[in-house]
C-alpha cells in the first residue's frame, strides 16, 4: 500500500460514497449499542434510535456534503475529505448528546465522544475507503489486462507474418476478388461488341472504372484483411471472485494496525462501560492475538515457498480463525475472566472488531499490492503491444508499397486506359465505327493483359507464401 494510492483513494469518489456510508451502519450500530450502555438508556430502542439518528447526520455531512463539493471537482483534496469526516465525528457527538439528554440516565460527553469517534475514524475510514477503491480499481485493471493480453496474443501471432507473406496474402486477396469480375467484364464486352452502342460502352466503362477503384482500395486500405478472428467483446470489469484470486498473504505489519484499530474501537468504551480492569483485559488479549497475527504469515510464506501457493481468501480465513480464537481464549483465561461476569458482551464485540479490522486491513494491503503488480504487468504488455503494432504497421507499409508498384502499371494503368478508351468509344461509335471497332479490340486486349497479369501475380503469391521467411523491420 503506497501513500500515493491512499491519497488517490481518499480524494476519490469512494471516500464520500453512499455505499460505504450504508455499509458502515451495522458496525456503528453495534458500537453505539455497546457504548451507550454506560449512559443508561430507558430502553435499548433509545440506543437504536440514537445510532440511526447519528448515522443519518453523518450521511448528511459526508455523503450530501461530498456530493455538493464534487459538483465542482470530482477529485477532492485529502484535507477537504478529512474535514468532512471530522465534522461528521463532531456532528455524531452532538446528536448523541441531544438524544441522551432526553431518554438516558446520563448525558454523553460531546468532547469525549468526538475524540473517540475521531480515533475510530482515523483507524477505520481511510483503510475501508482504500480497500473498496482498490477492489474497484482491480476489477477495471484486470479487465484491461485481459483485453491487452488478448490483443498481445493476436499481435504476436501476426508478428510471425513476414512482409513477404503479407504481400502474398494481399495479392491473393486482390487476385481472388478481381479475377471473376474481370472475366465477367471481358465476356460482356466480347458478346456485346457486334451491337455495342454508346450507352453500352459507357456502362462497361463505368464497370471497369469501379474495378479500377476497387483495386486501389484493396491495395491502399489502411487495414490488411484480417488473418485472425476479430477481438471478442469484453466486460469493462471482472467479477469479484476473479478480483480476489490473489496468491499472497497480508504482510506482518498489518497485525500492528489491526491491533491498534481494535483497541481504539473497543477499549475506550469498555473502560466506560465495564471499568479499567475489563478494558485492560481486552487490550492484553488483542495485543497477544496481534502478535500471533504477525508471526503466522511467516508460516504461510514458508508454505508458499514450498510451492503450495495459498490464495488470499484462504490465508485470511486461517489467520483470522487462529487469531480470533486466541483472543477468545485470552479473554477467558485472563483473571478475572470476562466470560464469567456480566461483562460477556465485550467478548463477541472484541472478536468481531478484531476480525473486521483484520479483514479490512488485509484486503486493503493485499489488493493494493496485487494492483501494483498487475499495473506494472499491464504497462509492460501495453508497451510490447505498441512496439509490435508499430512494427506491423511498418511491415504493412512496405508490403503495400510493393503491392502498389506491382499493381500500378500492369493492372491499374491498363484498367484506366480501358475506361478512357470506352468513354471515347461511346463518343465515336456512330460517327467513326471502324475506329471504334479498333478501339474495342484494344480494350479487350488490355483486359486480357490485366487478367494474365493477375494470374501471374496470384501464382507468385502462391509460391511466395509458404516459403517466405525474410522479416522486414
Q: Which is nearer to other proteins, 216 or 377 (CB)?
A: 216
Shortest spacing between CB 423 and other proteins, in angstroms = 5
CB of 435 to other proteins, least distance (A): 7
Residue among 302 and 432 whose Cβ is closer to other proteins: 432
Stretch that binds other proteins, among 36-44, 173-181, 381-389, 435-443 (CB under 8 A): 435-443
Which residue's C-alpha cell is 443508561?
40
Residue 169 beta carbon to other proteins: minimum distance, rounded to whole angstroms:
23
End-to-end alpha carbon distance in the chain: 41
Rounded to a whole number of angstroms, the minimum distance from the CB of residue 209 to other proteins is 6
Q: What CA–CA distance (Å, rounded) separates 146 from 342?
A: 55
Q: Least separation, in Å, of the C-beta of 464 and other proteins?
A: 24
Beta carbon of residue 421, minimum distance to other proteins (angstroms, whole number): 5
Instruction: Write down the least CB distance from residue 176 to other proteins, Å.
Output: 22
Which residues does residue 104 pair with via DSSP β-bridges, in sequence order?
41
**Of 213 and 462, CB closest to other proteins:** 213
Site string for other proteins, 391-430 (x = CB under 8 A): -----------------xx--xxxxxxxxxx-xx--xx--
Q: Does residue 322 belong to the site contacting other proteins (CB under 8 A)?
A: no
* Residue nearer to other proteins on the CB measure, 210 or 471: 210
Alpha-carbon distance of 187 to 180, in angstroms, equals: 11
Q: Return the range that interacts with other proteins (CB under 8 A); candidates 112-120, 268-276, 307-315, 442-450.
A: 442-450
Residue 107 or 186 having the CB closest to other proteins: 186
User: Which residues from 175-214 bind other proteins, rule CB under 8 A?
Assistant: 209, 212
Pick the stretch among 145-153, 263-271, 391-399, 439-447 that binds other proteins (CB under 8 A): 439-447
CA-CA distance, 323 to 338, in Å (whole number)? 18
Peptide bond into 122 cis (omega under 30): no
Pattern 272-311, binding to other proteins, x per CB under 8 A? ----------------------------------------
Count the site residues for other proteins by CB under 8 A: 24
> Per CB under 8 A, which region of 251-259, 327-335, 339-347, 436-444 contacts other proteins?
436-444
Cα separation, 435 vs 296, whole angstroms:
100
Query: Of the listed pieces 99-107, 128-136, 242-250, 441-449, which binds other proteins according to CB under 8 A?
Result: 441-449
Compose the 104-123 pattern: x for residues touching other proteins by CB under 8 A, - for all others: --------------------
Which CB, 296 or 403, lies closer to other proteins? 403
Relative orientation angle of helices 312-333 and 346-407, to the nearest 10 degrees: 170
The least CB distance from residue 78 to other proteins, in Å, is 55
Nearer to other proteins, 424 or 472 (CB): 424
Contact characters 211-230, other proteins, x per CB under 8 A:
-x---x--------------
Residue 469 Cβ, how far from other proteins at the closest point, in Å? 31
Q: Which of residues 5-24 bind other proteins (CB under 8 A)?
A: none
Binding site for other proteins (CB under 8 A): 209, 212, 216, 408-409, 412-421, 423-424, 427-428, 435, 439, 442-443, 446
Amino acid at each position: 500500500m503506497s501513500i500515493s494510492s491512499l491519497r488517490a483513494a481518499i480524494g476519490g469518489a469512494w471516500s464520500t460514497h453512499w455505499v460505504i456510508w450504508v455499509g458502515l451502519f451495522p458496525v456503528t450500530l453495534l458500537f453505539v449499542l455497546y457504548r451507550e450502555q454506560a449512559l443508561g438508556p430507558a430502553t435499548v430502542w433509545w440506543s437504536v434510535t440514537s445510532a440511526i439518528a447519528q448515522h443519518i447526520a453523518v450521511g448528511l455531512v459526508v455523503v450530501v456534503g461530498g456530493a455538493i463539493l464534487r459538483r465542482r471537482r470530482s477529485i477532492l483534496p485529502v484535507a477537504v475529505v478529512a474535514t468532512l469526516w471530522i465534522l461528521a465525528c463532531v456532528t455524531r457527538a452532538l446528536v448523541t448528546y441531544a438524544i441522551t439528554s432526553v431518554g438516558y440516565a446520563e448525558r454523553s460527553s460531546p468532547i469525549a465522544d468526538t475524540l473517540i469517534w475521531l480515533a475510530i475514524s482515523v483507524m477505520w475510514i481511510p483503510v475501508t475507503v482504500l480497500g473498496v477503491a482498490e477492489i474497484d480499481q482491480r476489477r477495471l485493471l484486470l479487465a484491461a489486462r485481459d483485453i491487452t493480453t488478448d490483443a498481445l496474443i493476436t499481435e504476436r501471432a501476426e508478428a510471425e507474418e513476414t512482409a513477404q507473406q503479407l504481400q502474398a496474402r494481399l495479392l491473393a486477396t486482390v487476385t481472388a476478388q478481381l479475377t471473376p469480375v474481370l472475366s465477367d467484364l471481358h465476356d460482356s464486352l466480347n458478346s456485346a461488341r457486334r451491337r455495342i452502342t454508346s450507352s453500352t460502352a459507357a456502362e462497361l466503362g463505368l464497370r471497369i472504372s469501379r474495378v479500377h477503384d476497387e483495386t486501389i482500395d484493396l491495395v491502399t486500405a489502411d487495414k490488411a484483411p484480417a488473418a485472425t478472428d476479430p477481438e471478442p467483446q469484453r466486460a469493462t470489469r471482472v467479477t469479484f471472485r476473479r478480483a480476489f484470486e490473489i496468491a499472497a498473504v497480508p504482510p506482518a505489519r498489518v497485525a500492528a494496525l489491526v491491533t491498534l484499530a481494535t483497541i481504539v474501537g473497543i477499549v475506550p468504551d469498555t473502560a466506560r462501560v465495564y471499568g479499567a480492569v475489563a478494558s485492560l483485559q481486552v487490550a492484553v488479549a488483542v495485543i497477544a492475538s496481534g502478535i500471533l497475527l504477525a508471526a503466522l504469515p511467516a508460516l504461510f510464506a514458508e508454505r508458499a515457498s514450498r510451492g503450495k501457493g495459498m490464495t488470499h481468501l484462504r490465508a485470511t480465513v486461517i489467520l483470522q480463525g487462529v487469531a480470533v480464537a486466541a483472543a477468545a481464549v485470552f479473554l477467558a483465561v485472563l483473571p478475572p475472566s470476562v466470560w464469567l461476569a456480566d461483562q460477556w458482551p465485550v467478548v463477541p464485540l472484541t472478536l468481531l472488531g478484531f476480525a473486521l479490522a483484520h479483514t479490512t486491513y488485509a484486503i486493503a494491503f493485499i489488493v493494493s499490492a496485487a494492483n501494483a503488480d498487475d499495473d506494472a504487468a499491464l504497462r509492460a504488455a501495453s508497451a510490447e503491444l505498441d512496439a509490435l503494432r508499430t512494427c506491423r504497421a511498418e511491415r504493412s507499409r512496405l508490403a503495400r508499397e510493393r503491392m502498389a508498384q506491382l499493381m500500378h502499371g500492369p493492372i491499374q494503368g491498363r484498367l484506366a486506359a480501358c475506361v478512357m478508351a470506352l468513354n471515347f468509344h461511346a463518343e465515336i461509335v456512330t460517327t467513326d465505327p471502324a475506329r471504334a471497332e479498333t478501339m474495342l479490340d484494344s480494350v479487350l486486349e488490355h483486359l486480357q493483359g490485366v487478367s494474365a497479369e493477375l494470374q501471374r501475380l496470384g501464382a507468385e503469391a502462391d509460391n511466395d507464401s509458404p516459403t517466405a521467411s525474410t522479416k522486414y523491420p
